[in-house]
Structure 1
Amino acid sequence: MNFSGTGRIDLPEYKAGGRERFFIFLSITTFSIAVFEEVRALYLVPVPLLLFLLIGFQFKWKSLFYLNIPLFVLTFINIFPYGKNLWPGTLVFALIFYFFTFSKIRNAGLLRWLARGEVSKQVLGLSALFVLSASVALFLWFYLLDPDISDIKENFPKGDIPLLIAAGVGFAIINAVAEEFLFRGILFEALLTAGCSLFWALVFQALSFGILHLHGFPRGWVGVGLAGIYGLMTGLIRILSKGIYYPILVHIFADITIAGIVLFFAK
């Protein structure tokens, strides 16, 4: 597949300059290492992200500024005890701050990603393939590695089956929308404004998505690899569909699988 052309996706109107590009890459790298407990314990992530946000504001580097709004808010919340246990609520909260400036972001030409996109046989076929392969991979990871996910299970409600199903579906929808907005939306867009080709924007956002699953589901370094591959899958759907809706739909099915495993199979 040729990623060199621009016909498969609406590229952002905003183009970052050389110094802004450097800080965009640095912001995403800094955000990605927030997953490590040692870094979080020393408050090493929110401080530089706040600095990058202020630099973006001072120099009117719009892509850098708007990128760091959700990144700073999210990492700041996560330094507090139990902050990481409120996921995806913490991410939703960070995105609310981002969308407070919706009209300004749109006027800056940085909201091309927030589009329904186009459906095609290729998009539908790959979406079905990715849903099936992700579900199988998640079950295999759970049964073969027997991971301890008791901390995740504690965050889900306990009750009758209808309540559990409603909670699982609700989690799947909210988590899928929030994560796709951040990774296949905001981060992907920022990488494109920084001059990345579609191929490298696809790779870099998938790397960040994978690393941030070190303590998630799937977890561990195997989980990082699986989540990274999944980030490539949903990123590819975003490119081919020219929008965010179809990656969200694919992601919802994967998260329904995760919720089902946590609620009905995990100890």
Structure 2
Amino acid sequence: MSFPIIRTAGLNGMLVTFADQLTEPSNRATLAFCQAVEASAWPGVLETSTSLASVYIRFDVEALRHEALEALLVELLDQQNWQQAQLPPGRRLWRVPTVYGTDLAPQLAEAADAAGLSEAQAIESLGSARVRVLTIGFAPGQPYLGPLGVEWNLPRQTELTPQVPVGALVLAISQFVLFATTAPTGWRHVGQTGFRGFQLRAEDPIALRPGDEMIFNPVSRSDYDRFCSEDSHFGGASREEIPA
């Protein structure tokens, strides 16, 4: 199969797919191409969104025919190698205080063992990783983050964990997921944060954007408790603009 591929998605959608699996270049292409579609401001395009390796475009079929939109997409795709494109501007780097292990994140030891590391080595590896918000999905404001190193290419569990709390940092398949709501999961709960990725009544309910980057800095339980008491929204997380 030759990528990128343009396909129809329902009556009023089109999907541009850059790969059949997640890689850093395919996600880079997805983010950059989505931003380029938005900047083009084509009449009739109503909405865009991204997954790990695809861009979805919803459009008004009375204002823009399928054939016309496909022609615009082909022309834009031909402008450059999108897998080598610059990432979009306006991205932020978040530094999030995180407790690894303890009773708050009880599956760190299991994940470390599966990766062939000690708990201390696992915390060093995970706590120093700078990961990208690859996409947001499953629940409002919930990011998939990565890629992590190959040692963390761990399969999901064979059984579900009945529930993890908001702010849980879970791990599988060389990715983190930062839970924005309480939910069951088949991913291993290795860290706990005070980060609230979705706040319904906030001016901007979804905190993160695809393309943002995050570092989950290891902290002690006492520091975590203090950060959460001082900042009930983000648990002491800081953010800064990433230079273009």
Normalized per residue, the structure richer in strand is 2
Which interval holds the TM-score relative to the shorter structure? Answer: 0.3 to 0.5
TM-score of the two chains, using structure 2 as the length reference: 0.34
In terms of fraction of residues, the more helix-rich structure is 1
Of structures 1 and 2, the larger Rg is shown by 2
